Amino acid sequence: MRILFDISHPAHLNFFKNAIRKIHSLGEHQLYITCLRRGRLPNIVLSELEGFNITCIGKHRGNIFSIIFEANLLKFFQLLIFTKKRKIDFGISVGSFTLGAAMKLRNKPNIQFDDDPESSQNLFFERITSDEIHIPPILDENSKFVVFNALKEWAYLSPSYFIPNIEALKIYNLKPYEYLFIREVSSGSLNYIDQGSFTIASFANKLDESQIVLLSLEDKSKKDLYPDKWILLEEPVLDIHSLIYYSKCVISSGDSMAREGSVLGRPSIYCGRREMKVNDIMKNRKLFFHLKPFEVPIFIMNLDKLCIVFPDQKEYRASLNDEWDDVTVHILNSINRIANL
């Protein structure tokens, strides 16, 4: 079977990479990967999946016209041509109804993963273009979906696939649990278009100047808005999840990296505007905090003084591993089930 994975965000790459490598190692299917031209995403994909058949399709320039036309409408026609030329039998993506529509027109199966199905616009297109929609246990009407019992971040951050490497800290001369890991996403996407740019920049100078900070900044052209002392990361970052694992706290204006921090056992702050039911899974475990931007400096200042007992990191992750599904196995089983129909 010729299988196509469509990747339009770094989180999608992380979600699929272990399944892609496993399928490749078994040699049972022929794999193709399409990648959206979005910032440094192509470089990250080429770095993580060296040697794979990767084609860049579509473009995301961070403005409304590019999102609607280049990253969706034009990409759909390009995918339609690509899947026909390569005779793709099966498509798999994260909320990519462009691939879904292309496969649907060719009467070929495709499945989509989504952890934000309460977004009615995306869900409408996913329903009419996909054969199956796979989600975490976050909606009441789960009978309409295929449910996996975990966050999608668990596909690559469970102890089965991720072992932290303290050596990653040496590059930046860091000590474990003595620095903040901060992620600032760009507002140039439909998910964050109403959030405004540089949420963290609005309070960056209110954080303690003596605090060591690693900054993952999506729009590098705005680096002057942040303190000079902050350590700016350049993508692709070597072992970024070890840097998150050993941080004191994660602060992110995007939801994905805040959830990554929380499943890695670190207190994590999401200071964006989006309300997502998937975040409640980690909120209830007392390691995910959805704060308004002006509240963040106070929280960080009092982090060591707060009357919050954070769980032991290793024990916490072991308990998640006992409770949650292996999401990569779920992906592989879903592919094999459809391949055998």
Burial class (CB in 10 A: 0-12, 13-18, 19+), 323: exposed
How far CA 157 is from CA of 5, 120, 147, 217, 316, in Å, comes to 20, 28, 19, 21, 13
How far apart CA 119 and CA 334 sit, in angstroms, is 24
**Locate tokens 């026909």: which residue?**
84
DSSP assignments along 286-323, one per residue:
TSEEE--GGGHHHHHHTTTTSS--PPPHHHHHHHHHHH
Strands 268-270 and 288-290: parallel
- Which amino acid belongs to residue 172? Y
Give residue 193's pLDDT: 47
The DSSP call for residue 210 is: T
**pLDDT tens for the chain, residues 1 to 341:** 999 999 998 999 999 999 999 999 999 899 999 999 998 899 999 999 998 999 999 998 878 888 888 989 999 999 999 999 999 999 999 988 899 999 999 999 999 999 887 666 778 888 899 999 999 998 766 567 899 999 999 999 999 999 999 999 999 999 999 999 999 998 644 454 444 568 999 999 999 999 999 999 988 888 999 999 999 999 889 899 999 999 999 999 999 999 999 999 999 999 998 888 999 999 988 899 999 999 999 999 988 776 566 889 999 999 999 999 999 999 999 999 987 75
Give residue 219's pLDDT: 87
Give residue 197's pLDDT: 61
Structural domain boundaries in the chain? 2-158+325-339, 166-323
Q: What pTM did the predictor assign? A: 0.90
Give residue 101's pLDDT: 95
Fold of 2-158+325-339: Rossmann fold (3.40.50)
The DSSP call for residue 163 is: -
How far CA 340 is from CA of 5, 18, 113, 333, in Å, comes to 18, 21, 20, 11
Give residue 304's pLDDT: 73
Class of domain 166-323: alpha beta
Is-contact 23 9, C-beta < 8 A? no
Q: Taking the CB of residue 308, how many other CB atoms lie within 10 A of it?
A: 11
DSSP assignments along 49-69, one per residue:
TTTS-EEEEEEE-SSHHIIII
Q: How far apart are the first and last CA of the chain?
A: 12
Does 2-158+325-339 match 166-323 in CATH topology? yes
